[in-house]
Structure 1
């Protein structure tokens, strides 16, 4: 059995754990909103029409922040369509996904849902087909306390107090030719800077996110970030990053190593941003909002005539297996590892659309396999992220060269003394013994809980008929002589929380 090891020391920290790392994403796409979070005729629906079974799962998932209302959808969205009496709201074409938007759920409804879910809203502005004036209008509606026309309109619509949204995305993926209102880097950078200046005139402490590249495979990647940031650097706090992963041509080995690409993506964006900062002689360090990431079987996605111009058609409702869950767990390891610069992230999306939660209209809601590593990591990652340098055997991949079999990150909560290790075994055929030196912590630690996501069938999925086919299972782990030891099953993700021995 192969062996891997690493040392943990509370003196070697990367950054505090950011709760915003555990964000999600609700877009008016497919069945994410309608028959996802909202279904007034459902048996569990509350007085506002929200499915309480989905609300309960959202809380269990540990979501901190939700990006809304898109996504590609936002680049053609008129926010005014979704306020006021529902019977007066227009039905609009959504050019992004070729569906119909009823606007039955708009800003006020979604903010009520967010309050019930206990999540912060990261609001995305339409800078595709709209501009500075419209951004200021929606900001006024959301955040101004009273007396102005739009603040009073919000109060008329039932929200007496401002919503107090502090984080705004300045558009979405405007580097992409598919985006409604696609722009060059210069065109977008100028508009984003103008919008940011105007919004800050009203609220100087806003946190603003400039659009980065829609993926690192874009031909303009890095050049886009560089030009946009030269125009916006002093006006924004974040640059966004988006990445989706899937096995290409059945290459599971490379797929399991997707976090290698995420690491490279983050490092490249950081290098580009810091280069611009140096050029501008700025002491400011931009952060990254990785506000779209997940496993997405993009090559399977095809729009069909059956779903065109329908209301909430079932699109990209991927069913996730054990291997997908292990990859999601490894991507969370990558995000935590970069907590010094990645302080916000949103798994796309929350319900039905490439999501950890699935529903049937009028029927049950259930956890997909990818639900579990997210929920456990969100619950256990506290305090500070520790630097981890695994000594691990490697294996060859077609896409990334030789890759470590074992990847890991750890967190330490000084208040409780807890130490949590998150680790993935990428080997498809061999268990690996992991030894973790805990000598740096001085006092004795014991295993408080240990969970693994693994199955003898890596293609196993959860369904409405069998919602618990794949669940986290306890894994034997022990601490002896200041060393944690555990056997990691092949294609597995594992979390182990240690606590001070009594």
Structure 2
């Protein structure tokens, strides 16, 4: 058994817990939209065709924002096809995922769904096959109260009040050769800057996200961000970060260290953004919207799109089945996002339902929680107030991909209004438990409200429609508070939340 300690003090604040950290992502990809959030005729569907079981699980997940409509899909999307009478909407080929989109769900349906579920919409504009004029058109449709062609069209389509979308992504992964309308850094920088400038002329207070590189493994990473931000810096607020994490060749030890790679990635993006800030003598800071992240088995069969003359509607794509180990990694990635809350101001788990998702559905049937649902929901629903920088003393473990990494990862949040303290921790060891000692002596009058651990003797256990409850977060009966210290045993390959409240 490893011994590890965590020291928590309310004086060491990284920044606020940002609600947008717990965002998600809905793309017209596979069964995410059709048979995911939307399935008329389903036993739980409401009058507008939205699945009630998925809406309920979305609320339980703690989702705050949802990025839409892509993703790769957006780079060939004509948003006008998805408004007006459904019987008049054209079906279009989606080149990104070799599918057909019937446009039954579009801007108005998505905004209605957001209102019903209680999430903030985060819209992406097409800067692949389109440009400044089309970005202005969709902004006018969504946000202008009335009196113009597109705002009056929205009202005629049944939405009297504007949607007032605050956060907009200027395209998606434009350095990726797979992207429809793929561009060089210089080409994209000019287009994004002019789009941002024009959108701010219409609504100065928008929050705009410029595309960073598609991942830290891209040859363009770093130089892309520098070139784009050098052009766009004063016109945008965030740079996007996208990264997925893979278990290659059964290397569980390296996989459990995925958050180390995420942390390095974040710090690299921050370094480039701050270098542009210094070189350009800018006053403001550009922060990160980590608007695509998750575990993804990219080479698995469900990730293979159709080919040839087969252009189906809503094919089963990217329907990864997640393990307990995957959930531990997702929990640890959330720990890392929180630890970087000073610069990561928004994040989107990709995606919400069916497509590399915490929620799965059967067509016409059941919906259930995947393993990764649990650490996300517990973190989203319990992290409040300030994120605290904690001191972690833990042994290291050897990994092939990341070198020596700490066996324990941890972060804490503190709500000054209530006094509540929550500690989140991941044991990355594949073989050894951790005897954890948490020093909370800087706080007075705390008691353990809840201590939950997610893990299993079989780290490869998966949830199914028939059995999604055999492995759930369980009470950690070893957690004890005495003399301002919590001691607890954390099993190998596990994620834990210890929630403490004040006795007064």
TM-score, normalised with respect to structure 1? 0.99
SS in 1 for 2:34: coil
Residue 472 of structure 1: how far off its partner (Å) = 1.0
SS in 2 for 1:273: helix
- Look up the match of 1:22: 22
Q: Deviations over 1:41-96 (max 9, x none)?
A: 10000000000000000000000000000000000000000000000000000000
Rounded to whole Å, the distance in 1 between the matches of 2:441 and 2:474 is 28
Check the 8 A contact 1:75/1:181 in 2, yes or no. yes
* Pairing of 1:458-477 with structure 2 (within 5 A): 458-476=459-477, 477=479
- Look up the match of 1:219: 219
SS in 1 for 2:263: helix
- Look up the match of 2:455: 454
SS in 1 for 2:198: helix
Rounded to whole Å, the distance in 2 between the matches of 1:404 and 1:388 is 14
SS in 1 for 2:391: coil
Rounded to whole Å, the distance in 1 between the matches of 2:429 and 2:256 is 9
Which of 393, 396, 410 is residue 395 of structure 2 equivalent to? 393
SS in 1 for 2:209: strand
Residue 480 of structure 1: how far off its partner (Å) = 0.3
Structure 1, unaligned runs of 5 or more: none
Residue 302 of structure 1: how far off its partner (Å) = 2.3
Check the 8 A contact 2:453/2:473 in 1, yes or no. yes
Rounded to whole Å, the distance in 2 between the matches of 1:398 and 1:186 is 37
Residue 218 of structure 1: how far off its partner (Å) = 0.1
Check the 8 A contact 2:274/2:285 in 1, yes or no. yes
- Number of residues of Structure 1 aligned to a counterpart in Structure 2: 501
- Look up the match of 1:235: 235
* Pairing of 1:29-428 with structure 2 (within 5 A): 29-300=29-300, 301-305=303-307, 308-428=310-430
TM-score, normalised with respect to structure 2? 0.99
Check the 8 A contact 1:3/1:432 in 2, yes or no. yes
- Look up the match of 1:433: 435
Q: Deviations over 1:168-195 (max 9, x none)?
A: 0000000000000000000000000000
Residue 2 of structure 1: how far off its partner (Å) = 1.4
Rounded to whole Å, the distance in 1 between the matches of 2:203 and 2:390 is 39
SS in 1 for 2:55: helix
Check the 8 A contact 1:461/1:469 in 2, yes or no. no
Residue 307 of structure 1: how far off its partner (Å) = 9.7
Rounded to whole Å, the distance in 1 between the matches of 2:390 and 2:298 is 32
Residue 250 of structure 1: how far off its partner (Å) = 1.1
SS in 1 for 2:235: coil
Rounded to whole Å, the distance in 2 between the matches of 1:197 and 1:328 is 36
Residue 305 of structure 1: how far off its partner (Å) = 4.2
Rounded to whole Å, the distance in 2 between the matches of 1:133 and 1:469 is 52
Rounded to whole Å, the distance in 2 between the matches of 1:229 and 1:444 is 48
Q: Deviations over 1:339-369 (max 9, x none)?
A: 0000100000000000000000000000000
Which contiguous aligned blocks of 4+ residues in structure 1 show a shift greater than 3 angstroms? 304-308
Rounded to whole Å, the distance in 2 between the matches of 1:73 and 1:450 is 41
Check the 8 A contact 1:460/1:469 in 2, yes or no. no
Check the 8 A contact 1:76/1:94 in 2, yes or no. yes
Residue 304 of structure 1: how far off its partner (Å) = 3.9
Structure 2, unaligned runs of 5 or more: none
- Aligned-CA RMSD value: 0.9
Rounded to whole Å, the distance in 2 between the matches of 1:304 and 1:178 is 15
Q: Deviations over 1:236-284 (max 9, x none)?
A: 0000000101111111111000000000000000000000000000111
Check the 8 A contact 1:99/1:307 in 2, yes or no. no
